[in-house]
């Protein structure tokens, strides 16, 4: 589980201008000045970058499972190495999001590495005959993502105030996950999985709504893409675990 929304009291990543001035609707002044054309252009950028991020992640899964055979060679040390690389690339992509050329290299390198990290799990499931479960998780995630994104973009309800509650919920989710390593409670594990789907569903709504309020820059689009991509990835992983839990019963 991994999320880039690390500011619990508001999320101004990738913004520009004075963050302290308040404009229309209680948003920073920069948000109130965003035109429909600018908003539409940013949406197109985020959708395009997210699509190619998912393609890069799929390529990472394929490369890790077929070329590197990580499902058989993924030790604790290898995982730690990839995890550190993943974090470093994400931080680099955020820091260099306005640097032309480098920003896209870091963005797609980051999503490619996330694919490498989950490739051992996907590879083992395919080898064990559970490819259907993986495809089900993909289709469910895609459908849920489209439904939530459509709702977030069209609803008049503002979810920006959910930021601190979502941050606390993620911390609680991590704590429950760690506790259950020692408790081995089937009920707690089930609650953990479904809570994960709910929390990251709300995070997806929250992040998609941010697209409506930020300036149309490549840097903003990359920052939003990383957040939305991580929401989708976490949704997929939780849904996959739920389906696998049902398969074992």
DSSP string, 56-82: HHHHHHHIIIIIS-HHHH--HHHHHHH
Tell me the average pLDDT across 108-125: 97
Q: Among 14-23, 71-80, 191-200, which is the least confidently predicted range?
A: 14-23
**């959910």: which residue's tokens?**
162
Residue 28, SS3?
strand
Q: How confident is residue 73, by pLDDT bands cut at 50, 70 and 90? A: confident
**More confidently predicted of 33 and 225:** 225
Residue 87 tokens, joined: 């974090």
Residue 49: which of 91, 103, 3 has the closest Cα? 103
Distance of alpha carbon 243 from alpha carbon 108, whole angstroms: 28
Is the model's pLDDT at 212 over the cut of 70?
A: yes
The pTM score is 0.87
User: Worst-scoring range by mean pLDDT, 32-36, 54-58, 138-142, 167-171?
Assistant: 32-36
What lies within 8 Å, CB to CB, of 196 at 6+ separation is: 1, 173, 234, 238
Average of per-residue pLDDT across 221-244: 98
Report the pLDDT value the prediction gives residue 3, as an integer from 0 to 100: 66
Q: How far apart are CA 51 and CA 45, in angstroms?
A: 10
pLDDT digits (tens, 9 = 90+) for 4-29: 654 433 343 333 333 333 333 333 43
What are the Cα distances from residue 91, in Å, to 96, 97, 218? 9, 10, 16
Residue 131: which pLDDT band, with cuts at 50, 70 and 90?
A: very high
The answer to whether 206 touches 160, Cβ cutoff 8 Å, is yes
The least confident of 13-22, 151-160, 237-246 is 13-22
Would you state the pLDDT for residue 29?
38
Region 103-124: mean pLDDT is 97
């Amino acid at each position: 589980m991994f999320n880039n929304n690390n500011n619990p009291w508001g999320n101004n990543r990738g913004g520009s201008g004075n963050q302290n001035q308040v404009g229309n609707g209680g948003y920073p002044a920069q948000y109130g000045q965003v035109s429909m054309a600018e908003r539409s252009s940013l949406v197109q950028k985020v959708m395009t970058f997210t699509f190619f991020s998912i393609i890069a992640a799929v390529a990472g899964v394929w490369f890790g499972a077929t070329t590197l055979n990580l499902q058989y060679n993924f030790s604790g040390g290898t995982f730690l190495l990839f995890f550190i690389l993943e974090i470093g690339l994400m931080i680099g992509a955020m820091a260099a999001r306005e640097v032309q050329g480098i920003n896209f290299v870091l963005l797609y390198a980051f999503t490619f590495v996330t694919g490498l990290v989950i490739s051992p799990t996907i590879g083992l499931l395919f080898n064990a005959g559970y490819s259907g479960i993986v495809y089900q998780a993909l289709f469910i995630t895609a459908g849920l993502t489209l439904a939530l994104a459509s709702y977030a973009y069209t609803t008049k309800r503002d979810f920006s105030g959910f930021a601190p509650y979502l941050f606390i919920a993620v911390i609680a989710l991590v704590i429950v996950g760690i506790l259950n390593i020692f408790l081995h409670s089937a009920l707690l594990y089930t609650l953990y999985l479904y809570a994960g789907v709910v929390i990251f569903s709300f995070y997806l709504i929250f992040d998609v709504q941010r697209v409506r309020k930020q300036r149309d820059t490549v840097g903003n689009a990359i920052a939003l893409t990383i957040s939305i991509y991580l929401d989708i990835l976490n949704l997929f992983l939780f849904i996959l675990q739920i389906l696998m839990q049902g398969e074992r019963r």
